[in-house]
Chains A and B, each alone.
Chain A
Amino acid sequence: MTDTALRSASARRPGTPGRVLSTLIVVVLLGVLLVFFVLPVIWLLLAPSKTAAQIVNDSPLSFGSFSQIGKAWDHLTAFQNDALLTWLKNSAIYSGASLLLTLATSVPAGYALALTRFRGRKTLLMITLVTMIMPSATLVLPIFLELNEFHLIGTVWSIILPFSFYPFGVYLVYIYFATNLPRDILAAARIDGCSEWKLFTHIALPLARPVIALVAFFGFVGNWNNFFLPYLVLPNSNEFPIQVGLNQLLSSTPSFNPVAGAGLNITIPELALAIIIAILPVLVLFLFSQRALVSGMLAGATKE
């Protein structure tokens, strides 16, 4: 903990109780928060290696055995004949297809909002901002009512199409092009007779790789973790994405549902393993795209 501000203060008042106290506060605060944020993750990663009895009786942070992870996996896949794999496949289809649609619509839209001028542009931008800031859950029940009216409930499109609507992605692309692509370049290319489509595909798109990655990351993670909409519109277990599947596993675990869970092999290690598998794609993305993430979260700040 080398800190110039702290050192200069102590130079004037060496070893004052104030300084000791303030260091103590910092250490305790960070220590408590570190345990709070990290301990559940470590516990979760260790849980599948133990039997349910070991989890209750052994030290919480002990490792069981690799063979136990295999057993937990067998129990898990035995649940409703590989239901877990079906759910994962569904999640991949829903998140993947809507990601493609999101990119296909939001990148050109963000580009046009930033670099072309048309009537209604401001209105569109304003509505985009408002829907982007509104929590997405606000619209889920109204979207359900709408899909119900048009008899789309239970179809793949009732998930993919609403997932593809991603105003935050449009906003990110808009900010990116507005700050990184000078209009003069486009104007010059237009004078040279370049068509609007060519401007987009030959000049804008090659520059857009970082922001495409960013939109893809946030869009994919959001869709992968989405629970509310699929929970409302998908009635059958074989259509569930993994998040809704986890909910079903929870209600089949004896510790949380003694009645329905009786006789099933879904106990705490199996549930923990299912959680890890469910979040694995997102976790991998988190580990490998830290820098992109931070810049995305600060998109507004670096706008100038």
Chain B
Amino acid sequence: MTLLESRRVTAPARRRGVSRRRGGRAGYLFVAGYAVLLLAFGVFPTVYAFYLSLTNDRGQFTGVNQFVKVIQDYRFVPAFTDMLLYLVMWLVLLVVLTVLVAVVLRGRMRPGLSALFRFLFYLPGALAGVASVLVWLFMLDPDVSPVSWLLDSLGLNSFAAVLAPGNLPVILVLIAFWTGAGGWIVVMYGALNNIPDEVLEAAKMDGAGPWKTAWHIQIPMIRTWIAYMAILAFAAGTQLFVEPQLLQTASLGRVSPTWSPNQLAYVFAFQQGDFNGAAAVSVFLLAIGLIAAGLLVRRSDMFKVDET
């Protein structure tokens, strides 16, 4: 709507001269296709989910009733606490290990070897999604796992024991780390690479060892990137669906089918036919995603919209 209105407004501006115009009118044509997709699959679904969550199945306005209903559902709190437990473990492990590894790869080895390590760590990213879950089902099945001795020593001597519901956060962290950490190591390495050599030289002159340099100089200098990673990983972590869904299948029903909030929304929509309830659960997740995104855009200069 605003696009159409503003189009009329800019028309007189053209008279100011060809060179000042900078393709204003053509701009609308160039963005038109994308704008349609953005409205159809970005803005509209968001608005529609909010609308559904505020109404009932006959389209009557019900205020916060849908939200009250889903919060009081016996599966709601467990789904969100599962997610929270997973998120805490995942974020701590991700931040500590990716930063540590990036520091080590940046400072302590030949560039060629470091590039090889980064590539090998990154490679499992090609198996993101369903493939990664299937691979880890094999890795965690004591019958076929190449590290069955390790599973045995942890007292996990059957597939059923491995897939006990209490182990799910750890399994999901393993999968997420396997497919996702390599990419972040590459990003952190790149960020460390942007620190000028003189800064590191100066630290060395002052007698700082590699660990001290990392802790007092390098890590503080890439903290925007660390925050960026943490926020993105947090937002993505709230959206777990495919991993617990497949683990649920493979566990023959021992794992709850509503382990994560997205699965709960799925059950609301597909098993109970309650689209309003599903929308209410989705709105919670949408809100988390929107807040995380808003935080990043507002607070970090990485996404500063140019002023020229």
Contacts and interface: CB of A to CB of B under 8 A. Distances in A.
Contacts of B183: 297
Contacts of B129: 225-227, 243
Contacts of B126: 221, 279, 282-283, 285-286
A170 B41 CA distance: 15
Contacts of B128: 225
B120 interface: yes
B153 interface: no
A105 B34 contact: yes
Contacts of A257: 249-250, 252
B242 A227 contact: yes
B194 interface: yes
- Range of interface residues on B (Cβ < 8 Å): 35 or more
Interface string B135-156: 1111101011111000000000
Interface stretch (A64-72, A76-84, A142-150, A206-214): A142-150
B95 interface: no
Interface in A73-120: 101, 104-106, 108-109, 111-113, 115-120
Nearest to A19: B209
A120 B144 contact: no
B60 interface: no
B238 to A, nearest CB: 7
Interface of A: 1-6, 8-9, 12, 22, 26, 29-30, 33-34, 36-41, 43-44, 47, 55-56, 60-61, 101, 104-106, 108-109, 111-113, 115-135, 137-146, 148-149, 161-162, 164-165, 167, 170, 178, 183, 186-187, 190-191, 196-197, 199-200, 221, 225-228, 231-232, 243-244, 246-247, 250-251, 255-258, 268, 271-272, 275, 278-279, 282-283, 285-286, 290, 293-294, 297-298, 300-301, 303
Contacts of B202: none
Q: Which 7 A-B pairs have the closest CB atoms?
A: A119-B6, A60-B146, A196-B26, A112-B30, A109-B34, A142-B45, A116-B27
A291 to B, nearest CB: 10
Contact of A118 (B25, B46, B228, B279): B25
Given A3-B107, A133-B235, A142 B49 contact: yes
Given A40-B139, A142-B49, A124 B31 contact: yes
Given A246-B130, A257-B252, A119 B46 contact: no
Interface string B1-23: 01100110110000000110111
